[in-house]
Structure formats: structure tokens, C-alpha cells
Structure 1
Amino acid sequence: MPTITDERRAIIREIICDILELEDDEVTDTSLFIDDHGADSLRAIEILASLEKEFGITIEQSELSEMVNLERVYKVVAEAPGR
């Protein structure tokens, strides 16, 4: 399984906290965006687009259902094709 650097983890956390309008300490690697933080599908798409832009990667729309928490987002980003 591909790994992801601590620097990328920090950037991903920052993007997600900004989009979900949460403080850093409110989000854990396993807290669920929808159930624990009230995210909706529009915010999920915004997260996906921001990650693609930030890292120059392509994330398939079908991966949205996998991106339920930070842990899963790290995995999707690590496996995404791009630079």
C-alpha cells in the first residue's frame, strides 16, 4: 500500500478543516465527516477538488464514498494517479 508523508497529511488535514469549518483538534483520523461533523455531499466534492488541485492528482468521483474520514482520505490520496 502506498504511503503518504507527514507533510501531505498536515496539508490534507488543513484543507478538510477549512472546508468543514472545524478546528484542528475537532477532527481525528477516524472521526466521520458526515456522522460526526455534519458534512454534506457538496463539501465532499469541494474536498475532492481541493485535494486534486493541491497535489496535482486525479481522484475518481467513485472514490467519494471511500472518503469518510481522514484515514481514508490519506489512502485515496496516496493511491491517486498524478505527480
Structure 2
Amino acid sequence: MEQITVVREAVVPLQRFALRWELGSPDHAMVTTFLLAEENGGTRVTITETGYETREQAKPTEEGYAMSLENLKAHLEGRRLPY
């Protein structure tokens, strides 16, 4: 089983939160960043993740975040979570 270490990279309350995922060693890492920005009376959430070698490696994570954001939107709107 591969060891994963998670390090908090940055925290700027209500603006930015970033995690560094070290996959076996610090040389093989991914960084996930969540950015929040006020926009048109609401909040825009932008998620980026770096460290993938190919687009194919990122695809399952992309799909997972899309579902997570749909759940977040449904929660904020008071609806049943779709996933």
C-alpha cells in the first residue's frame, strides 16, 4: 500500500485553501487548490489540481470534483444531493 502524506500548503480564510498530496515521496506530489471569489451576489469556487503526468490520469479526479460541486450547489440551494 502506497503511503500518502497530506500537507496544508496555504490557507487564506474565505479566499484560498491548498493541500499538497505527497504520493510515496515529496518528489511525487499533487497540489489541490480551492479558490473562492465573490461574483454576482454569490461565490465562485475554482478547484485546480496539479501533478498529473497525463490528461488521462486526471480524468477520474475531474469527474469526482464535478460531482462534488454538484452536491455543494444542491446543498446550498436546499435540494437533495445528487450523489
Structure 1-normalised TM-score?
A: 0.30
Per residue, is there more helix in 1 or in 2? 1
Structure with bigger strand share is 2
Structure index of larger Rg? 2
